[in-house]
Amino acid sequence: MADAGSAGLDRLERWMLAVVTHAGGSARGLRHARARRQIDVAVGDIERVVTRSSRLSAIERLDIYAEAYWLRLVEVMANEYPTTRDAMGERAFDAACRAYLARHPSTERLLLGLSAKFPDFLARRLRGKRGAALAVSLARIERAMEDVFDAPAGELLSPAAMAALPAAAWGRMRLELTPAMRLLALDCDANSHMTALRSRRSASRPRPRPAWVLVHRHGLRVLRTSLTREQYALLRLLGRGVPIGRAIARSCRDLRVSADRLPALLSGWFRDWAATGLFVAARVG
Amino acid sequence: MSSAAGNRWGLPDLGLGVGLRPAHFRHVVENWPGMDWFEIVSENFIDTVGPPLHYLDRIAERYPIAMHGVSMSLGSTDPLDFEFLGKIKALATRVRAAWLGDHVCWTGVAGVNGHDLYPMPYTEQSLRHMVARVRAAQDFLERPLVLENPSTYLRFRASTMPEEEFIARLAEEADCALLLDVNNVYVTCRNHDLDPLEWLASVPWDRVVQIHLAGHTDHGTHCIDTHNGRVIDPVWELYAEAQRRRGNTATLLEWDADIPKFQVLQREVARAVRFRDARKAANG
């Protein structure tokens, strides 16, 4: 532990970061072991480390950085999870963000991955609480939207190129899906709820039930598409490199549709997916 | 763009520009508004190949771009992040950046990032540390760094020299360029009971290649560099003083919160025109 007045650069930096990132504010941060390991100074002696100005005490000056730390990072998360925030309410969301950041402080240069673990964190934090299914499902969709926004999309396989593929080889063909895509299995139909809110329609809170969503980027647009259980299963298998024929057989065996209508139904799915840039390559074998 | 550089690297006076923000991407590519140049926050275009990079590529075809970062953490005692610097370098090549830079600060330590511009203790030890790191970064990037004076809200008792002396010596000893943020000079001087004109008197003007203008929030007891409004008159006066001392210099308006329509930015930065050529006029 260094003397407060002569602490070296490394100790000063570690001390200041420990103080201004403490969830309880600077004064409590000063007393925390993480700060005291660097410089052991009490609030009353803080001017041995930080000077006062004519209008602010040393601890008030540290508080400027402490408040900015939490405000900035919570604001970043609020921008990433606006609908989750609306569903939870501002206070509950803010508290969840602060708890998350205390557990998962940023270790990256960029803010892109700051809240990557937030949906899982929220699922643990809200387990068994009212409204948990909606809040967590919304968070998973909004996380996916952030991820695909920045992800590479790959060279798209156009609908025309899809149509030109030899029909006889379709069953053995493997499709490569765009990396700018996420498949979500959720605990409620949060996607329809989000769509209603975004179009300023009133929406009652959906009840918990299984729901599936595709989130992907097509050009500059991020798309959210509700899926059936079979569509979700089919896309998951295709994404794992399972040939189309086997993927259809495994995912659609419980589909309640007559055999003569199945080809048209599947053809429609693939046409829509190709038209929105879901496939980037096809190969036989 | 003027080639009358007046700085030791011959970096051009790009004229008057604004910070390029996502809120204006579409307006810019749909209207190609009159603007001499844009500055980008480098980190907003790293590790993404989505829409931001798409717009930046198009805009960089028509306007000069300067890169201004917030994450190099040149004052930190953590090791320099050469992987990150590599990404900065690649982006600079991609957009043919006029120059690139960051701040005289640290942003994190011990592997944790606070995502803020934290103040240095202004000591000989800190100076040696930062000089070595700026030199290493410049060697890797193969170009001079353009470093900005940050707004600061506290001062370490350990400091043995004023901020402006620290920055001037850093620039000389690391042989780097400077981005003079006159709003930050104002904010810092308000927060530390200093005279901004005295602060400016220490600036090595031949190293200044860019000037920042911005708004801030005055809380009475202190000012915060919020970039959320117009430039106040005392900051314009500092800008005029800088132009008198330095001559015409690439000037950029930052506006990052409560972002208005692009036309408001155009009008605000255009107010700088009246201070241009001040040095020429003063010299008759």
Tens-place pLDDT, residues B45-74? 999 999 999 999 999 999 999 999 999 999
Both A181 and A279 in a single domain? Answer: yes
Contact A153 B113 (CB under 8 A): no
Q: Which of B112, B122, B157, B223 to mutate to test the interface with A (most CBs of A within 10 A)?
A: B157
Q: Which two tokens stand for residue B1?
A: 């763009």
The yes/no answer on whether domain B16-282 falls in CATH 3.10.105.10 is no
The stretch A204-212 carries a mean pLDDT of 93
Looking at per-residue pLDDT, the higher value among A59 and A167 belongs to A59
CATH of the domain at A228: 3.90.930.50
- 99-138 of B, contacting A, C-beta below 8 A: 106, 108-116, 118, 120-121, 123, 125-126, 129
Give DSSP secondary structure letters for A81-140. Answer: -HHHHHHH-HHHHHHHHHHHHHHS---SSSSTTTTTTHHHHHHHHHTTSTTHHHHHHHHH
Region of poorest pLDDT, from A4-8, A13-17, A129-133, B123-127 = A4-8
For chain B, say whether A180 makes contact (Cβ under 8 Å).
yes
> Is the confidence at residue B179, as pLDDT, over 70?
yes
Instruction: Return the residue of A nearest to B78 by Cα.
Output: A10
> Domain containing A218: what range?
152-284
Is residue A12 located within the same domain as residue A108? yes
What mean pLDDT, rounded, does chain A reach?
A: 93
Do A22 and A65 fall within a single domain? yes
Residues of A in contact with B109 (CB under 8 A): 10, 13-14, 17
Per-residue pLDDT tens digits for B4-18: 467 889 899 999 999
Q: Is A183 domain-assigned?
A: yes
Q: What is the ipTM of this complex?
A: 0.95
CA distance A7 to chain B (A): 8
Q: What is the mean pLDDT of residues A256-283?
A: 90
* A233 and A273 together in one domain: yes
Q: Kindly report, residue by residue over B184-225, the tens digit of the pLDDT.
A: 999 999 999 999 999 999 999 999 999 999 999 999 999 999
Predicted confidence at residue A96, as pLDDT, reads: 98
* Confidence check: pLDDT of A10 > 60: yes
Residue type, A213: V
Residue A141: phi and psi, rounded to 5, are -65, -45
pLDDT tens digits, A122-161: 999 999 999 999 999 999 999 999 999 999 887 888 878 8
pLDDT tens column, B146-164: 999 999 999 999 999 999 9
Q: Are residues A195 and A272 in the same domain?
A: yes
Q: Are residues A167 and A270 in the same domain?
A: yes
Q: Are residues A22 and A96 in the same domain?
A: yes
What domain count does chain A have? 2
Of A115-119, A219-223, B84-88, B280-284, where does mean pLDDT reach its minimum?
B280-284
pLDDT of residue B283: 60
Substitution target from B56, B113, B128, B258 for chain A, most A beta carbons within 10 A: B113
Quote the distance between the C-alpha of residue B134 and its chain's center.
Answer: 15
Q: Give chain B positions within 8 Å (CB) of A14.
A: 109-110
B58 touches chain A (CB under 8 A): no
Q: What value does the mean pLDDT take over residues B240-263?
A: 95
Chain A, nearest residue to B81 by Cα? A109
CA atoms of A101 and A95, how far apart (whole Å): 10
Kindly give, in sequence order, each residue whose CB lies less than 8 Å from that of residue B83, ignoring residues fewer than 6 positions away: none
